[in-house]
Amino acid sequence: MKAINKKAKAVFEKMTEGMTTVCSHKRIDNAGGVYMAAIVECINECDWGLIFSIAHYYEQCGDLVSDPEMTFLQGKDGNVYPLSFQQAGLGIYQESVLFGGDGNPDKINVRLQKDHAVFAGQWLVNIKEQQGL
């Protein structure tokens, strides 16, 4: 799997700092409403590490809509790997890593997973700049 770049990894680590258990979460909103808050959640754990969701949300007709949401594996090897991308308002949902019955990564769409890593590299740096991290 392709890991996110070093700059993005540093931002990811700052955003997930102190989040070591499933169900831990935080809202990062340092921009005074100028930019969308970043919502960070530890959503699962597998043999390879912790799985996190990072998202921006907006409200539409009373529902929260991701804009976008990505999931990441914080690997025990020290790297961070994108797993999925969702842009709900546009009907986009992409899983680049599928999990098997044992709860661990099983199938990888190498090209899509690489695309997710490239996008995450820029997106996380943008969040850093927007939120003053």
| Residues 105, 132: Cα–Cα separation, whole Å | 33
* Predicted pLDDT of residue 125: 97
Q: How far apart are the first and last CA of the chain?
A: 27
| Residues 44, 85: Cα–Cα separation, whole Å | 16
Whether the link from the prior residue into 68 is cis, omega within 30° of 0, is: yes
- Please say whether the beta carbons of 41 and 53 come within 8 A: yes
Average pLDDT over residues 111-120: 98
Say if residue 33's pLDDT is above 90.
Answer: no
* Predicted pLDDT of residue 82: 98
Residue predicted with more confidence, 104 or 115: 115
* Predicted pLDDT of residue 3: 98
- For the whole model, what pTM was predicted? 0.93
| Residues 132, 69: Cα–Cα separation, whole Å | 20
Q: Give the three-state DSSP class for 6.
A: helix
- Please say whether the beta carbons of 103 and 46 come within 8 A: yes
Say if residue 57's pLDDT is above 90.
Answer: yes
